[in-house]
Amino acid sequence: MSFGKFLSKRILQGVIVVWGVITGTFALRAASPGDPVNLIVDPAASPELRERIREELGLNEPLYVQYADYLGGILTGDFGYSYQSGQDVLPLVVQRLPATLELAVAATVVAIVIAIPLGVVSATRRNQPADYGATLFSLVGISTPNFWLGIMLILVLAVQFGIFPTGQRPVGFAEAMGTFVTTLHADELLTWVRHITLPAIALGTYFTALITRLTRSGMVDELGKPYVTATEAKGLPAVLIRYKHVLRNTMIPIITVLGLQLGTLIGGAVITETVFAWPGLGLRLINAIYTLDWPLIQGIIIVIGVGFVLINIVVDSLYAYLNPRVIDE
Amino acid sequence: MLQLLGTGVASAGITATAGCLGGDGDDEDEVEEFVVTQGEFIENTDPNDHNATPYYNVLDQVYEPLFNVTDDGEIEERVVTDWEHPEDGVVELTIRDDVVFHEGEELVASDVAYTINRQIDEDVGIVSDQVAGMTAIEGAEADGDTTVLVEHSAAESLAEFQLANFARAVNEEWMEGQDQPVDGEMNGTGPYQLEEYESGVQAVYTRFDDYWGDEPAFETVRFNAAAESSSRVGGLQADESDLVVNVPPTDVETVDTEDGIEVRNVTSFRNIFLVMKNEVEPFDSQEFRQALNYAVDNEGIIDSVLGGFGAPMTQPIPEGLFGYNPELDPYEQDQELAEELIEESGYAGEEITLQSMEGRYLNDAEVAQTAADQIDQLGNVSCDFETVPFDQISDAAGEGPDFEEIPFFLIGWGNPTGDSDYGLSPWFTSGGGQFNFRDEELEERLIESQQEDDEDEREALLQGINADLREEAPWVFLHLEESIYGVRDDLEWEPRQDESIYIDEMGL
């Protein structure tokens, strides 16, 4: 199979998954009890007004008609309007996307910066204190719920020591970076870093622990292979062997996991954003769920789903490009 | 779970340092930014597209009310300087001639008339939630630049209450030029003007230099949102907020014992109760309904489930509202009497289920479960408890007194207007959105009270209705919710029963 066919197949699969997400969220909305009109108008509103709104929303139409309208709307970029704010859903979702992406990327950076050196040290110093420490860190990191960790970080680093703020996002990365580039003043960029640090740690800790484990086990496997013995016999320095040869071979599965986990982090940001009042998609999703703002819930889930599918396609394609054997597997 | 853990955060008893306001805190001119953190935040900036106190709190700093309503419910002049009733069904409002909008236009009577019409007529701009609070108002028109004639269909005092609580002026020309509902921009006449706005996140205001009234103490005000209570309390402890709303009862002691911050609380006008639909057995029996009131220990629930925060209800209306009957006492728990009443009702041995949402009101599910347990302890009736999503409860409340699927449920009702009518008519008149108790004679009396122009007579009518409703027991009367705030301790401000927050009334 050619790379082009492989890519087409992946895109087709992605379209089917997105259609499934759209249909699934619509089904959830249809199956959920309650009258959406109660979410739009005051409880004391007259029956006439309620009926008028029901008609305007098409809620009196058969379910298949509502589904067709919804699907048609999405294809033209119309996700409906939020019950709570009365605004179009798509801008409400897009508006929050940068904050969530920033958080997911920052959590990934935290994971890479900490996990890879830790995994290497752990693998190369097996059964030594550094290995035990890294293994313990991995165990604790994987076992710790991120909302609990978030609250503990606020308690210790924000409230007690005042090193970081408790949350919020007073400035976005693009804006802060823009100011820095145009004025060379780093105040806004530092503000952004201070505010994102705790949420990124809270969100990225599980991921860090996971990558530490992957790096360690990958390194241990690679270190036992004959080519390592051969390079050692050649007299190459140990650092060069570990970081140039062994780590490079270990990185292939780690990069795959990194890519896939980025999508998971976007979904996983829901709780972290709530704890830190970080104004991303997750916080908006939670608010939408509290108020049963179904059009907004659907819009956010679809966007997260599309993002996840796109990341998967990109990762698969890169993987196939780098290692063409997987195309035929 | 998050709230539980949040308790741990606040219980750690960490010492706060100096306040987060700029300057030394002694000189009000030095104050740079005052930060208010609520659990909820506006979803758009349209002043007429909502009807919830947290939203009003954010918007009222910019879109000032036309009248002042004191914490005692008295109506005072503000933008409106005088109001008279030249003929039946008409209120004549006189507005100040020195009020300007933040974008520079002068406020004229046609703006006020437009605002009122926008609230009550779904064909003017938007379908406004505020129509529910302005049932007595039929329309408004300008008569010159400073006079507005408002037509109403009810007693003068009721019309005044509704205007005083719901009217805020917008600029007609500016509003008509915006997408509906408006979002991202504000153009009011209040003491603060919008500086920065992020949808669902924060609004930053600065003092409006051309404000007609007194200059507020703080140069800048920031409203933001933290849905998680532990985040709000943590923000207060870390000096990031100066005032936070809804401190959980479990965190009260921690906040109160910490340097620099303290708790301030007041019993609100939000009434929590158990609805019994009187067209569904066994709730069609007055004896049975009274029995459930005697079965439940209100004071005990307040002490054990709500940490002592709350006040027991004696009638459908909170104390402080026009028409409240001060002669009435709460039902005292008396399980023997409750069992006797159940025998009298003919429904001994009945099995009922109490349903409640979880998380909408303070410890709502725990309150309902405790009440259900106390009813279940009666020897001749059994009561189960079940949590269901709020919208199911909301639907049940709107389905009328014959709806059998959810006939017995917990719900809350805010009473922002200062008048009994908003707490009674929706529930006890057949056109009301929350009609669950059919009693035609009572309904006629309520309609009569709406038409009664003599204030004393009207008050007497409403007090009589409230007394009879206590006996009719359409609800198990529970409690009024407590509003609990965390504030910096040098803040000059007392919380209001109506849950409103006006920054221009504050100082240090």
Give the torsion sign (CA, B299, B301, B307, B310). negative
CA gap B70, B76 in Å, rounded: 7
Which residue, B50, B88, B187, is CA-closest to B454?
Answer: B88
Contact B234 A166 (CB under 8 A): yes
User: Is the pLDDT confidence value at B473 over 80?
Assistant: yes
Task: Please report where in the chains the tokens 């007595």 appear, as a residue.
Answer: B136
Confidence of residue B296 (pLDDT cuts 50, 70, 90): very high
Which residue, A145, A192, A199, is CA-closest to A167?
Answer: A199
Q: What is the mean pLDDT of residues B145-151?
A: 96
Q: Which runs of consecutive H residues, i.e. helices, occur in B48-108?
A: 53-59
Phi then psi dihedrals of residue A190, to 5 deg: -65, -40
Count of CB pairs separated by less than 8 Å, A with B: 158
Average pLDDT value over all residues in chain B: 89
Task: Please report where in the chains the tokens 């071979």 appear, as a residue.
Answer: A249
Residue among B51, B183, B391 with most chain A CBs within 10 A, to mutate: B391
Which residue, B475, B470, B490, is CA-closest to B413?
Answer: B475
Which residue, A268, A166, A271, is CA-closest to A210?
Answer: A268
Q: What is the DSSP letter of B267?
A: E
pLDDT digits (tens, 9 = 90+) for B446-457: 999 988 888 899
pLDDT at residue A5 in the model: 87
Residue among A85, A90, A153 with most chain B CBs within 10 A, to mutate: A85
Q: Are B206 and B193 in contact (CB under 8 A)?
A: yes
pLDDT at residue B11 in the model: 41
Measure A282 CA to nearest chain B CA, in Å. 12
Q: What is the mean pLDDT of residues A110-137?
A: 92
CA angle B341, B343, B348 (to 5 degrees): 120
Contact B201 A169 (CB under 8 A): yes
Burial B420-438 (b: 16+ CB within 10 A, else e): bbbbbbbbbbeebbbbbbb
Whole-angstrom distance between the N-terminal and C-terminal Cα of chain A? 10
pTM: 0.81
- CB neighbour class for A224 (10 Å; exposed up to 12, middle 13-18, buried from 19): exposed
- Chain B residues with beta carbon closer than 8 angstroms to that of A35: 391, 395, 398
Around Cβ A310, how many Cβ atoms within 10 Å?
14
pLDDT digits (tens, 9 = 90+) for A192-223: 999 999 999 999 999 999 999 999 999 898 88
- The amino acid that residue A201 corresponds to is I
Q: What is the mean pLDDT of residues B325-331?
A: 96
Measure B306 CA to nearest chain A CA, in Å. 22
Contact B238 A38 (CB under 8 A): no
pLDDT digits (tens, 9 = 90+) for B42-87: 888 999 988 778 889 999 999 999 999 887 778 999 999 999 999 9
Residue among B35, B231, B386, B428 with most chain A CBs within 10 A, to mutate: B231
Q: What is the mean pLDDT of residues B484-499?
A: 94
Smallest CA–CA distance from A35 into chain B, residue? B395
Smallest CA–CA distance from B10 into chain A, residue? A155
Q: Which of residues 171-230 of A touch B (CB under 8 A)?
A: none
pLDDT at residue A329 in the model: 63
User: Is the pLDDT confidence value at B404 over 50?
Assistant: yes
| Peptide bond just before B312 cis, omega within 30 deg | no
Around Cβ B79, how many Cβ atoms within 10 Å?
22
- The amino acid that residue B199 corresponds to is S
Q: Hey, what are B470's tokens?
A: 């206590």
Smallest CA–CA distance from B238 into chain A, residue? A159
Choice between A308 and B203, residue whose per-residue pLDDT is larger: B203
In sequence order, which residues have a C-beta less than 8 Å from that of residue B326 and are 6 or more positions away?
B319
Which residue, B147, B159, B248, is CA-closest to B453?
Answer: B159
Average pLDDT value over all residues in chain A: 87
**ipTM, interface predicted TM-score of the complex:** 0.75
Indicate the SS3 state at residue B412.
strand
Q: What is the DSSP letter of B130?
A: G
Confidence of residue A29 (pLDDT cuts 50, 70, 90): confident
Which residue, B249, B267, B275, is CA-closest to B412?
Answer: B275
Q: Are A284 and A96 in contact (CB under 8 A)?
A: yes
Smallest CA–CA distance from B121 into chain A, residue? A49
Smallest CA–CA distance from A47 into chain B, residue? B433
CA gap B392, B435 in Å, rounded: 16
pLDDT at residue B392 in the model: 77
User: Is the pLDDT confidence value at B280 over 50?
Assistant: yes
Contact A49 B127 (CB under 8 A): yes
Which residue, A201, A240, A217, A193, is CA-closest to A114?
Answer: A201
Residue among B5, B45, B242 with most chain A CBs within 10 A, to mutate: B5
User: What value does the CA radius of gyration of chain A take, rounded to a whole number of Å?
Assistant: 24
Contact A151 B9 (CB under 8 A): yes
CA gap B317, B463 in Å, rounded: 10
Choice between A39 and A111, residue whose per-residue pLDDT is larger: A111
Measure B31 CA to nearest chain A CA, in Å. 20
Contact A43 B132 (CB under 8 A): yes
Q: Are B366 and B305 in contact (CB under 8 A)?
A: yes
pLDDT at residue B4 in the model: 39
Q: What is the DSSP letter of B388?
A: -
Smallest CA–CA distance from B126 into chain A, residue? A86
Measure A160 CA to nearest chain B CA, in Å. 6
CA gap B164, B168 in Å, rounded: 9
pLDDT at residue B214 in the model: 94
CA gap B287, B347 in Å, rounded: 10
Q: Hey, what are A57's tokens?
A: 């929303």
pLDDT at residue B30 in the model: 53
Is B184 near chain A, with CB under 8 Å?
Answer: no
User: What value does the CA radius of gyration of chain B take, rounded to a whole number of Å?
Assistant: 24
Contact A292 B389 (CB under 8 A): yes
pLDDT at residue B302 in the model: 94
Confidence of residue A266 (pLDDT cuts 50, 70, 90): confident
Q: Which of residues 92-131 of B touch A (CB under 8 A)?
A: 122, 126-127, 129-131
Measure A114 CA to nearest chain B CA, in Å. 27
User: Is the pLDDT confidence value at B12 over 60?
Assistant: no
User: Is the pLDDT confidence value at B110 over 70?
Assistant: yes
pLDDT digits (tens, 9 = 90+) for A92-116: 999 899 999 999 999 999 999 999 9
Confidence of residue B10 (pLDDT cuts 50, 70, 90): very low
pLDDT at residue B276 in the model: 97
Which residue, B465, B444, B436, is CA-closest to B279?
Answer: B436
Indicate the SS3 state at residue A67.
helix
Confidence of residue A258 (pLDDT cuts 50, 70, 90): confident
Measure B181 CA to nearest chain A CA, in Å. 6
Burial B457-466 (b: 16+ CB within 10 A, else e): ebbebbbebb
